[in-house]
Amino acid sequence: MTSLAIIQLVLFLLVALFSPFLTPPKRNQWLLLLVLIVNTGISAVLLLHIESSGPITLLLGGHQRGLGIELLIDAFSVLFTLFLGALGSVVQIYALGFMKTHIPKTQHTAYSGLMAILFFAIFGLLYTNDLFNTYVLIEILSIATVALISIVRKKRNFMAALRYLLISELASLSVLFGIALIYMVTGTLNMTLIYEAMPRAFANYPINVTLALGFMGMGLAIKTAIFPFHEWLPDAYTSAPSSSSAILSALVSKAYMVVLIKILFRVFGSAIIEQLGAQWVMITLAAVAMIVGSLFALGQTSFKRMLAYSSVAQVGYLLLALSLLSRAGLEAMLFYMISHALIKGTLFLVAGSFSTQHIKDSLKALSGVAYVAPFTALVLGVGAFGMVGIPGTSGFIAKFHLAMALGDASRWGFVALIMLSSILNAIYFFPVIINSIVKQTGTVPLKRDHLPISMVLSMSVLLIAIVTLGFSPSLVLPYIEAAVTAIGF
Amino acid sequence: MSILDIFVANIHFIGAMIIFVIGLYMVIAHPNLFKRIIGINVMSSAVFYFFVAIGAIADGRVPIVDGTLTPADYINPVPSALILTGIVISVSFTVYALSLAIKIHQSYGTLDQEKIVEMSTRDDSYD
């Protein structure tokens, strides 16, 4: 029972290892899907196990605590492996149909292999309780992500991939520098032991701890595309094939967010962050990101670029919730992460469905699309409603919880800011929906979508998930509460 | 303790910081992609240097225990072991980045980022 988490990691590695030998490549895709579903199931079993008998600590190699790598399987990490694994399976179902037309045949094997490595890194990042291991997994994740962008052999993709690779390596090195500074004053890499040693280290060597927080914060700010460090994001998200864009925006950025939470609350602890005043930095960046990201999105002519800039704004929301450093704030943040991953993932899949049906990726080309591809347009509508925060979608509940958390901390100014940013969201999303319904030229009989069944299935599942969470958020809220308790609030 | 003493005592850490900033400057300021890749390598060397320097002590021995010395005589081997992993990662990054640079040079004929950005006309159709 206790070593199930290791089986998850090993399964992903095995898929990556055997993917070059399995022919035809189609089998790889099914194998990856199978492993994803099995691992999601394992996470569900682990979640139930933890609920009844507490968190599991695994010491790899049987070394003494503090010497070897330690995995911490608790309500927080398992909630996210369960969610990201499930979402990954749904996107993989979509990829079964999407790949045929959009990814060159020769690259199909590489796609599933890279995807397996990517999931290995995400699961590892969530479970690990060791700082250096975190760095290694961040590097694995960033190289796998970049490779997923350069998998389409186009000029633009190479350039986007190299720029992303350079900037994310810069970020990883920044994180490693932070780890070195922490190791220097605490003498350990185990997060729990560092957390225990932190108050003394901070009292004796405040410069080291401050610099470490700065370096790690900057590194993760680049990775999660927090506002002034978001330059790489639009190119990376738009040039990747849509199923990869969905993985990038829904899974990878959330995994880095989880790392940020772990570093802030399990390594430094909220007391030190408050003492250094880091929450004010976060609040400022969040407020700017929420407005500026939306303004950038307003100016785009490409649908995928618009989604990418809207992600910049959404990271601002997450950071705003994080900056409260409170239980309510963290609960709101975790729900927002789940909701945003669902909605943004769905919208990128919609972009992929348009391109499968030879509809150009420009906002102009989307006018009247509801008559050509009614199902995709329906999913687009629900996704856009979710982004704006219309009641009945998970986006509304997420924004509501965030506003409540801000209200508890009596930061009413930021509640107003959320409203303003939501209005901006509406300004750029509603014209897309209206355009898609209102056909300008003549009347064309209603057509049906020309999509592979797997793509329809996957988008339907996400659609149902968004609406279900919108009507009964209580399905996940208890697990989120348990996760926040596990973080230490 | 005078400033000079502090400087001498922390010479490794200060040196590593200076190299780190030099690398960072190369990455940010240089338009040539190849030089930027080298800049990242300079940065990673600086971080590795810093990390290994944490474990070093004056007149420290290689940590092979033969029973004649006390533990305080040995250097801390953990940072060195960690940095071996770091070097492997750095090498794989460099290989991948250079292979991308070759592809970019093949398709654009230059590695100057400003020229490439000029060349790539805005095409708003994405997959």
Write down the ipTM of this complex.
Answer: 0.91
Using pLDDT thresholds of 50, 70 and 90, give the confidence band for residue B107: confident
pLDDT exceeds 90 at position B99: yes
Q: Report yes or no: A362 and B125 within 8 Å, Cβ to Cβ.
A: yes
Q: How close does chain B come to A30, measured CA to CA in Å?
A: 23
Q: Is B53 on the interface with A (CB under 8 A)?
A: no
CATH number of the domain enclosing B16: 1.10.287.3510
The predicted pLDDT at position A230 comes to 86
The predicted pLDDT at position B127 comes to 54
A257 assigned to some structural domain: no
Both A284 and A340 in one domain: the answer is: yes
Please answer yes or no on whether B40 and A170 come within 8 Å at the CB atom.
yes
Please answer yes or no on whether B40 and A159 come within 8 Å at the CB atom.
no
The predicted pLDDT at position B20 comes to 92
The predicted pLDDT at position B124 comes to 43
| Parent domain of A206 | 1-241
Using pLDDT thresholds of 50, 70 and 90, give the confidence band for residue B72: confident
Q: Choose the final residue of a domain: A241, A258, A288.
A: A241
Rounded Cα–Cα distance for residues B95 and A135 (Å): 19
A263 assigned to some structural domain: no
A434 assigned to some structural domain: yes
**Which residues in chain B have Cβ-Cβ distances shorter than 8 Å to A362?**
124-125
Residue B59, Cβ density class (10 Å: 0-12 exposed, 13-18 middle, ≥19 buried): exposed
**Which residues in chain B have Cβ-Cβ distances shorter than 8 Å to A146?**
96
pLDDT per residue as tens digits for the range A298-318: 888 888 889 999 999 999 999
Using pLDDT thresholds of 50, 70 and 90, give the confidence band for residue A443: low
Percent of chain B exceeding pLDDT 70 equals 93
Both A300 and A190 in one domain: the answer is: no
* C-alpha of A356 from chain center: 24
Both A282 and A216 in one domain: the answer is: no
pLDDT exceeds 60 at position A78: yes
pLDDT per residue as tens digits for the range A91-117: 999 998 888 888 888 888 888 899 999
A267 assigned to some structural domain: no
Q: Report yes or no: A197 and A69 within 8 Å, Cβ to Cβ.
A: no
B122 assigned to some structural domain: no
**Which residues in chain A have Cβ-Cβ distances shorter than 8 Å to B97?**
162, 165-166, 169
Both A100 and A40 in one domain: the answer is: yes
Both A19 and A123 in one domain: the answer is: yes
Could you tell me the pTM of the whole model?
A: 0.93
Both A96 and A237 in one domain: the answer is: yes
Both A52 and A105 in one domain: the answer is: yes
* C-alpha of A60 from chain center: 27
B86 assigned to some structural domain: yes
Q: How close does chain B come to A13, measured CA to CA in Å?
A: 18
pLDDT per residue as tens digits for the range A53-62: 888 888 888 8
**Which residues in chain A have Cβ-Cβ distances shorter than 8 Å to B27?**
166, 170
In chain B, how many domains are there? 1
B104 assigned to some structural domain: yes
Tokens at A314, concatenated: 């959404």
The predicted pLDDT at position A79 comes to 92
Using pLDDT thresholds of 50, 70 and 90, give the confidence band for residue B69: confident
In chain A, how many domains are there? 2
Using pLDDT thresholds of 50, 70 and 90, give the confidence band for residue B116: confident
Q: How close does chain A come to B68, measured CA to CA in Å?
A: 24
| Parent domain of B59 | 3-110
Rounded Cα–Cα distance for residues A84 and A89 (Å): 8
The predicted pLDDT at position A54 comes to 85
**Which of helix, strand or coil describes residue B96?**
helix
Q: Is A242 on the interface with B (CB under 8 A)?
A: yes
> Which residue in this structure is represented by tokens 């990455």?
B27
Q: Which range, of A85-89, A215-219, A365-369, averages the lowest pLDDT?
A: A365-369
Q: How close does chain A come to B124, measured CA to CA in Å?
A: 6
Pick from B101, B124, B126: CB nearest A162: B101
Percent of chain A exceeding pLDDT 90 equals 44
Tokens at B76, concatenated: 């801390």
pLDDT per residue as tens digits for the range A141-153: 999 999 988 888 8
pLDDT exceeds 90 at position A428: no
Please answer yes or no on whether A176 and B97 come within 8 Å at the CB atom.
no
What is the average pLDDT across A361-367? 79
Q: Which long-range contacts (CB under 8 A, 24 or more apart) does A278-281 make?
A: A278/A213, A278/A217, A279/A323, A279/A324, A279/A325, A280/A323, A281/A217
Q: Is A143 on the interface with B (CB under 8 A)?
A: yes
Q: How close does chain B come to A238, measured CA to CA in Å?
A: 6
pLDDT exceeds 50 at position B125: no
> Which residue in this structure is represented by tokens 């004010």?
A280
pLDDT exceeds 70 at position B61: yes
A403 assigned to some structural domain: yes
Please answer yes or no on whether B92 and A143 come within 8 Å at the CB atom.
yes
pLDDT exceeds 80 at position B121: no
Q: Report yes or no: A172 and A142 within 8 Å, Cβ to Cβ.
A: yes
Q: Is A351 on the interface with B (CB under 8 A)?
A: yes
